[in-house]
Amino acid sequence: MIIEVIALLVSLLCFGIALLCLFYLKKNDTINIHFIAVLIIIGLQRFDLAAFELGLTSKTYSPVHLYSNYFLLVFAFYSNFLISLVQVQKNKYLTIISFVLPVLYVIIVNLFLPNFRWNKIVVSLTLVVYYIIPFIELIKYFKISKPKLNNLDATQKWILLVYLITGIMVFQGLKFFWFTPGNETIFVKSSILYSSVIWLVLLCYLLINPIILFGEKNLLKILVKNHSQHIKIWSSSLITRVDSKDLNVYRTILSNINENLYLIKTLESNDEVLSKYVLDVTQISKLTSIPKYHIKFLFKYYCFCSVKEYSNTIRILFAVKLIKNGYLEFKTIAALAQKCHFESRITFFNNFKKVMNLSPTEYIKTLKLTR
Q: What is the mean pLDDT of residues 96-103?
A: 67
Averaged pLDDT, 310-315: 94
User: Can you tell me the distance from the alpha carbon of 310 to that of 334, in angstroms, rounded to the nearest whole number?
Assistant: 22
Q: Is the pLDDT reported for residue 2 higher than 80?
A: yes
Phi, psi of 240 (to 5 degrees): -140, 165
**pLDDT of the residue at 270:** 92
CB-based contacts of 57-65 (< 8 A; 24+ apart in sequence):
64/188, 64/192, 65/185, 65/188, 65/189, 65/192
Give the pLDDT confidence of 108-124 residue by residue, as tens digits: 666 665 555 556 676 67
| Burial of residue 339, with CB atoms counted within 10 A of its CB: 0-12 exposed, 13-18 middle, 19 or more buried | middle
Report whether pLDDT(175) > 80. Answer: no
Query: Residue 58 CB: number of other CB atoms within 10 A?
Result: 7
pTM of the full predicted structure? 0.53
Q: Are 281 and 292 in contact (CB under 8 A)?
A: yes
Closest CA to 228 of 142, 148, 320: 320
Position 298 scores a pLDDT of 94
What is the per-residue pLDDT for 149? 63
